[in-house]
Structure 1
């Protein structure tokens, strides 16, 4: 007995005619007859009363048809579930975000999933690179999006660099500093300066480019992993934010925030990556996040 035998019996029960059932199944009548005979032989009972005018189910046939409907339904659901899982429409994923990737990707990705893949369970974690990396190795997250320069040991990790982002200082529209022809570090430090936790490399670069007073330990008065919260503060006060311009893209486009160029004005690029465990099998929906991240993580 196989599923096709059951499907053939259901077709005969529906049409009550070998000719009509065979046509609906795109089979010849002899092939359908052989299939149903094989089913009867496997169950060792007579399922169909055959006569010249009509084919009706026996008591055994009615019982098998009732069970066959449930079996075929479950088999179809099984195939559909596997197909949807492969396509990323079912299943679950767990994603860890560092501050900047979270500000750029998290809300848009959740909107995308809620709109187009509502049955996929999405679990979000936030934290430092060290904590997220440990969560990755402990298998509590499937993938993390982080500042690549804060990553240390990575021999066991699969690293996918994302598009580098331009960064610098951001203030509210109409900030007093915008009245200055040239802005130096001394002028900047007249106002609160805030940022996310910065890697040692970025800290050294700031001190090298702008002077020792630009080291985050001295310059930053507010430190937080909540970028959107800090941008709210920047928008409402004279505080300055140091970070990636892409995190404030919509606010800059709306004229609420603007870039503040501090001399010497050098190009500052943030480097980020998707990081997962090398060699670990992954839930199929994860490809949705990978594709989304590569498409949307940009200036």
Structure 2
């Protein structure tokens, strides 16, 4: 038995078919099938049931998978640690983040990394936190930036919190509810509500309880989308309203095109963004450089954001009108 066979086994287990796994491991179907049979012969147990041209993992396969992953992980880490000692900061860096974070962080981060380490090969993905976590478990990412609640009790992950988000109800400047104070939730219902698809069920349940609304909470939205640019276009171009994080609205709040409505009760829910990586994995020098960029970015946001929460509330009166507006300080 060798780790090459274990990689073949895990590829079939993860992809669910020989043809899909063969593309990943760059083998022909007959060669991959022979590798699996050889591993089964050595382990003396069947790993897959072959029925109707489909492979179904046996209980033996499901039991052995975690140990196989650990063996492959340890071999990869041994070679990786030596390569880092030999090559320094060259090589590849794979990381991901959610769409709302990517909108304000991805491009500046890539530009800085390209400037600091021109020999580095950068590979990025923009996905939901659960998809990023799954990719990290499969060793497809070095780290991701996302909601750290997803790994709160996961001993295999290492987390560094970097920013505590606040949530609010956002709309375009000049919206019919702009300037009104203590807006009840019923006053929002005549307008299209847009749900951010990257919010999790636990967050939706808290919102439903806060406002006395029925579940599933998504049914109260006219649109559900996990694409931050689409969400912002809807808000800026219509009377739509969306519950969202200050991170996802940061640029438009700073530019004054969006406002945070004074909804009563306020949406005093929080989630924390953090850097998530695999515990025990050798950290590449380029990752440390990337982490410094992330920390500096969110530290500057802490000073720039003026949300409606007591953390850093900044308001100004509009001349001639008795109203206040949430602003972003420069």
Which residue of 2 is the match for residue 159 of structure 1? 159
1:164 aligns to what SS in structure 2?
strand
Provide the TM-score with structure 1 as the length reference.
Answer: 0.65
Deviation per CA, 1:47-99: give whole Å up to 9, x if none. Answer: xxxxxxxxxxxxxxxxxxxxxxxxxxxxxxxxxx989964x4x3221002123
- Counterpart CA distance in 1 for 2:279 and 2:84 is 24
Stretches of structure 2 that go unaligned for 5 or more consecutive residues are 1-82, 303-330
Which residue of 2 is the match for residue 71 of structure 1? none
Which residue of 2 is the match for residue 122 of structure 1? 122
Which residue of 2 is the match for residue 186 of structure 1? 186
Q: Would you say the 8 A contact 2:193–2:222 is kept in 1?
A: yes
CA positional deviation for 1:116: 3.8
CA positional deviation for 1:286: 0.5
Quickly say closer, same or farther: Cα 1:164–1:202, change in 2 above 3 A: same
Provide the TM-score with structure 2 as the length reference.
Answer: 0.59
Which residue of 2 is the match for residue 256 of structure 1? 257
Which residue of 1 is the match for residue 175 of structure 2? 175
| Aligned-pair Cα RMSD in Å | 2.5
Stretches of structure 1 that go unaligned for 5 or more consecutive residues are 1-80
Which residue of 2 is the match for residue 141 of structure 1? 141
Q: Would you say the 8 A contact 2:169–2:267 is kept in 1?
A: no
- 2:211 paired with 1:210: yes
Which residue of 2 is the match for residue 292 of structure 1? 293
Quickly say closer, same or farther: Cα 1:85–1:269, change in 2 above 3 A: farther
2:288 aligns to what SS in structure 1?
helix
2:145 aligns to what SS in structure 1?
strand
Deviation per CA, 1:216-270: give whole Å up to 9, x if none. Answer: 3232332222212311221111111221113222221221111112111243322
- Counterpart CA distance in 2 for 1:82 and 1:217 is 46
After alignment, is 126-135 or 281-290 more displaced?
126-135
CA positional deviation for 1:165: 1.6
Q: Would you say the 8 A contact 1:149–1:199 is kept in 2?
A: no
- Counterpart CA distance in 2 for 1:159 and 1:83 is 25
Which residue of 2 is the match for residue 111 of structure 1? 111
CA positional deviation for 1:133: 1.4
Aligned pairs for 1:17-32 (under 5 A) are none
Which residue of 2 is the match for residue 54 of structure 1? none
Larger radius of gyration: 1
Alignment length (residue pairs): 217
Q: Would you say the 8 A contact 1:165–1:246 is kept in 2?
A: yes
1:101 aligns to what SS in structure 2?
helix
Aligned pairs for 1:51-130 (under 5 A) are 86=88, 88=89, 90-130=90-130
Q: Would you say the 8 A contact 1:206–1:214 is kept in 2?
A: no
CA positional deviation for 1:160: 1.3
CA positional deviation for 1:124: 0.7
Q: Which has the higher contact order (CA 8 A, sep 6+)?
A: 1
Which residue of 1 is the match for residue 239 of structure 2? 238
